[in-house]
Structure 1
Amino acid sequence: MNTFDYIIIGGGIVGVSTAWQLQKRFPQKKIAIIEKESEFACHQTGHNSGVIHAGVYYQPGSLKAKFCKEGVQATIEFCKEHQIHYEQCGKLLVATTPLEHERMLSLYARCAENGIEAELLDQAQLKQREPNISGIGAIFVKQTGIVNYQQVTIKMAERFQQLGGTVLLNHEVVDLVENDDGIHVVALHNGQQVPLESDFLVACSGLMADRTTKMLGIKTDFQIIPFRGEYYQLPAKHNHIVNHLIYPIPDPDLPFLGVHLTRMIDGSVTVGPNAVQGWKREGYGKINISFKDIVDMMGFSGFWRVLKNNFKVGLIETFNSWWKPGYLKTVQKYCPSLTLNDLQPYPAGIRAQAVMKDGSMVHDFLFAQSPRSLHVCNAPSPAATSALPIGAYICDKITKAQS
């Protein structure tokens, strides 16, 4: 039987960052990453827009704000050290109406509260920077950048293995049992059950975070509700349609940021994401249904409450998902030259949104613990940007839990 000092469930960027930093802190310890897929970063990490966020939106003093500010520089330094291509192209948050302009000024004040360097642009300055973008003003955030987070994750995994860490790909955790001596793990590999033992378990299981806690009987008040983020890609002729990342001014009453134009690190430009109720936790296709996932949601009171609280916007998002001209209209608000033919297929992503029983969405990091385990229950955007400080924070919590 394979016995480890620490087992980390999850091969996304948060899990791999944690494992690598834990191995650096404790070089004599036996540490393993368990990942059910055949490679790293197959889910949220590999299906996001690749933005290195500066932390404009986040509540001052929150873990999100703290981690994001630390994470920008840490991510860039990591990329420099390991020759991973990144670019700090900057971001413009564009106001298109007087109401959005008022909200923009509030966001500008929040930048100052979070210690983020930002510049206010008037309509003429915006047009000078972005000839193809229409708006009455904007916030320019210079720090924001782009990178391929799957490449970052793979490099972290390589560093982890170089330090003696063990990687178990194609291993799906199907059972967990905790006792006074540690955690007994059963993983399914090539149809065979593989027993593993660990003194301590760290679960960074993203879309399956609530199911991992349930395996150990940890009482929690949340459930993961999947939201699909659907993207389009612009044709190559539009690869230079923008010079920066272009974001709308978000509505503070809505849980997600809205559709934006993103320059990707490969030179292309994507449009999105929207936020549509998902009916399958790992449903990346156009039509995705999972009976098990639906039953879990239907039986959770928080799902019905969040549906009720966001019913109108949910209908609009669903309508725009199925009716392309509706989706296009959200983009034409600030980029009027785009047409239907410009919106070409691109893979969707799934946001693992933790929702409480009262229907409130968890917008900060959420953790659960047992005597011998620590679970990352909610790792919201910008978790990829913040993966290095999050990993360090988790290592600190593990050390404290074992002291």
Structure 2
Amino acid sequence: MTRYVVVGGGIVGLAVAHRLLTDRPGDQVTVLEKEPGWAAHQTGHNSGVIHAGVYYPPGSLKATLCRAGSASMVEFCAAHDLSYDICGKLIVATAEAELPRLHALHQRALANGLPVRLIDAAEAREYEPHVAAVAALHVTSTGIVDFGAVCRKLAELLAAGGADLRTGTEVTGVVDRGDRVVVQTTRGEVPADVLINCAGLHADRISRLAGVPTPVRIVPFRGEYYELTPGRRELVRGLIYPVPDPQFPFLGVHLTKMIDGSVHAGPNAVLATSREGYSWGRISPRDVLDEVSYRGLWALGRKHYRYGLTEVARSLSRRRFAASLARLVPELTGADIVRAGAGVRAQAIRPDGTLVDDFLIVETGRQVHVLNAPSPAATSSLEIARHIVSRLPVAPAR
């Protein structure tokens, strides 16, 4: 019997544990989560979009796992009676100057094998009557779901399958003894033959605890959301996105119909003062020190400080936030939106200041560390799990 320990109870960690239980019956699977429940951070604070895989370079892990993951996520939801809606989305060019980027995105989507169409302004308004567009990319396979509900179902399946699920258990150390790994926690030691680190916002710290050289530092970016007031929800039928700036992994402020019928607007992207900093007032001295002492963040700031200042200004001003939305739907004003919480993106940054734009998974000995898994990781989670488990030895020596 092989003992697997998965650190992290977000959607990637739970999906990996479920894949282990499915593919390797008879082995022991333990999941360690420091919070009292599942999906407490990135998974539980995202926009609930089942991404199609439009944005990612052909052949990248994001492109291949997102496309496969969008299909397997829908299959999982259908099999377990979880609500989802393949409503499609529009990526809209609101000015002629954005058309070259829209056309480049169209070509990338085709290279990724996705069902997309370039449409003119009149056809865009057939899908979204209130949208402002000179042209748009219609992505038919984009959908929405409650990823928190997916996590609850995964945890239920894991419990039924005999997995050892430990919430309220924080990892404090990792000792690799060659023939096994000992995971030290706030509730005692847990022996493992294989450790799989899916700790999200804290994945680089777990890697360092384990003595594994970490080629990146995770820097937290807070994404703040508004939602449309109930009387203005009819302005958006599905999902409306701007054409993104290819220099950044952020997709720009967009409008998203949620599975509960509400319509969320956002997120922006501002540097957070805590890895779990869901508001300006939440500050972690340790996390701030981590950020300001990292030369990669200073290098990033020197290259993109204007972008960062724009995001901060939008964070502090409802009027600016509403103006960004009005580029997509001109009828929207500041009176039509109310605050709706925030999420924090765990973004891996290299020492030279470049953003890691693909999933980053480091394998060494008896350990696997998922060091960069922001969006579209929730969409791709079942396929990230399949990818990781397929690469593990069937029966590691003890």
TM-score norm. by structure 1 comes to 0.96
Q: CA deviation at 1:156?
A: 1.1
Q: Is the 8 A contact 2:323 2:333 kept in 1?
A: no
Counterpart CA distance in 2 for 1:112 and 1:378 is 26
The answer to whether 1:365 aligns with 2:363 is no
Answering whether residue 5 of structure 2 is matched by residue 13 of structure 1, we say no
Paired AA for residue 261 in structure 1: L
Q: 1:104: which partner in 2?
A: 102
Which digits, 9 at most, give the CA deviation of each residue in 1:324-371, with x for residues without a partner? Answer: 211111111111111112220111000000001111100101122332
Q: Which runs of 5+ in 1 are unaligned?
A: none
Q: Is the 8 A contact 2:116 2:138 kept in 1?
A: yes
**Partner residue of 1:202?**
196
Q: Which residue of 2 aligns with 1:172?
A: 170
Cα deviation per residue 1:229-256 (whole Å; 9 max; x = unaligned)? 0100111112222122000011223331
Deviation at 1:27, TM superposition (A): 1.1
Q: Distance in 2 between matches of 1:155 and 1:85?
A: 12
Asked if the contact 2:15–2:154 (Cα under 8 Å) also holds between the matched residues in 1, the reply is: yes
Instruction: Return the alpha-carbon distance in structure 2 between the equivalents of residues 367 and 401 of structure 1.
Output: 21
1:361-394 per-residue CA deviation (whole Å, 9 max, x = no partner) reads: 0010112233211110001210000011100111
Q: Secondary structure at the match of 1:31?
A: strand
Partner Cα separation in structure 1 for residue 359 and residue 333 of structure 2: 38
Cα pair distance change 1:398/1:4, threshold 3 Å: closer
User: How many angstroms apart in 1 are the aligned matches of 2:25 and 2:92?
Assistant: 48
Picking from 341, 355, 361, the partner of 1:347 is 341
Match of 1:226 in 2: 220
Match of 2:165, SS state, is strand
1:397 offset after TM fit, Å? 2.2
**2:50 matches 1:52:** yes
Give structure 2 stretches of 5+ with no counterpart: none
- 1:397 aligned partner: 391
Letter in 1 for 2:270: V
Which secondary structure state, in structure 1, belongs to the residue aligned with residue 244 of structure 2? Answer: coil
Q: Which moved more, 1:124-133 or 1:346-355?
A: 124-133
User: 2:352 and 2:224 mapped to 1: Cα distance?
Assistant: 27
AA aligned to 1:156 is L
Given residue 15 of structure 1, which amino acid in structure 2 is its aligned partner? G
In structure 2, what residue type is equivalent to 1:38?
P
1:108-127 map, 5 Å: 108-127=106-125
Task: Give, in whole Å, the separation in 2 of the partners of 1:304 and 1:220.
Answer: 18
Local SS of the residue matching 2:235 = coil
Identify the residue that residue 183 of structure 1 maps to in structure 2.
181
Q: Which residue of 2 aligns with 1:33?
A: 31
Tell me the amino acid that sits aligned with residue 39 of structure 1: G
Q: Which whole-Å CA distance do the structure 2 matches of 1:186 and 1:253 have between them?
A: 40
Matched, 1:212 2:210: no
Return the alpha-carbon distance in structure 2 between the equivalents of residues 402 and 389 of structure 1.
Answer: 22
1:239-388 alignment to 2 at 5 Å?
239-388=233-382
TM-aligned CA deviation for residue 395 of structure 1:
0.3
In the TM superposition, what are the counterparts of 1:20-99 in structure 2 within 5 Å?
20-99=18-97
Q: Distance in 2 between matches of 1:118 and 1:4?
A: 44
CA RMSD of aligned residues (A): 1.4
Q: Which moved more, 1:306-315 or 1:237-246?
A: 237-246
> How many Å apart are 1:298 and its aligned residue?
1.6
- SS of the residue aligned with 2:341? coil
1:260-313 per-position Cα deviation (integer Å, ceiling 9, x unaligned): 000000000000001111111001124221110011112211111111111110
State the alpha-carbon separation in 2 of the partners of residues 248 and 377 from structure 1: 28
Separation in 1, partners of 2:64, 2:374 = 13
* Superposed CA offset, 1:189-232 (max 9, x none): xxxx4121111110100000110011011112210000000100
Q: Distance in 1 between matches of 2:394 and 2:19?
A: 15
Q: Distance in 1 between matches of 2:10 and 2:368?
A: 16
Q: CA deviation at 1:401?
A: 9.6
* Residue in structure 1 matching 2:145, options 144, 147, 161: 147
Runs of 4+ in 1 over 6 A off after TM superposition: none
CA distance in 1, matches of 2:349, 2:59: 21
Structure 2 CA distance for aligned equivalents of residues 351 and 397 of structure 1 = 27
Measured against aligned partners, the alpha-carbon deviations of 1:62-100 in whole angstroms (never above 9, x if no partner) come to 000000110111000000000000001100001101111
SS of corresponding position for 2:374: coil
CA–CA distance in structure 1, aligned partners of residues 64 and 126 of structure 2:
33
User: What is the CA distance between 1:400 and its match in structure 2?
Assistant: 7.2
